[in-house]
Structure 1
Amino acid sequence: MKKVTFVLAAAGLMSLAACNGEKPAENAVENAVENVEDAAANLDAAAENVTENVAADAANVADNAANVVENAANVVENATNAQ
């Protein structure tokens, strides 16, 4: 019975040792790598948002310019019709 208890205790200690195999330095390195990867993903998302916003703004500027031209043409037409 003592041998079985000893074997079970040894197996339990070995399993605990296997579960806690990583060192704090390894954990710190893994966390640092994950942080850098997250920062890169955030930068990519920000760059994509800026690109989309610039394209949308350019389209709005073009629409506004077309509206200004159309309004000017209407002013000229209305002035001509008023005479």
Structure 2
Amino acid sequence: MKKLTYLFIALFSLSLMTTSCREEKSTGDKIEEAVDDAGDAVEDAADDVEDAIDN
């Protein structure tokens, strides 16, 4: 009985070590992030052009 308990503890420990806790982004999240980054880049470029015109 003691060996069986040790076996279950060992298997449980092994399963905890092999399970990843990292969150993975879905395709929709990646697309949304890319669109937000592109929008920020466009706004930055527009601000640069406005500053160049003012000078």
TM > 0.5: yes
Alignment of 1:17-56 (within 5 A): 18-52=21-55
Matched residue pairs, number?
A: 49
Partner of 2:8: 3
- State the AA in 2 paired with 1:19: R
The structural deviation recorded for 1:4 is 3.5
Computing the radius of gyration over CA atoms, which structure comes out larger, 1 or 2? 1
The equivalent of 1:63 in structure 2 is none
Structure 1 stretches of at least 4 aligned residues deviating more than 4 Å after TM superposition: none
Residue 23 (structure 1) shift? 0.9
Distance 2:10 2:40 in 1: 47
SS of the equivalent of 2:49 reads: helix
Give the structure with the larger helix fraction: 1
TM-score w.r.t. structure 2 length? Answer: 0.65
| Structure 2 unaligned blocks of 5 or more | 1-5
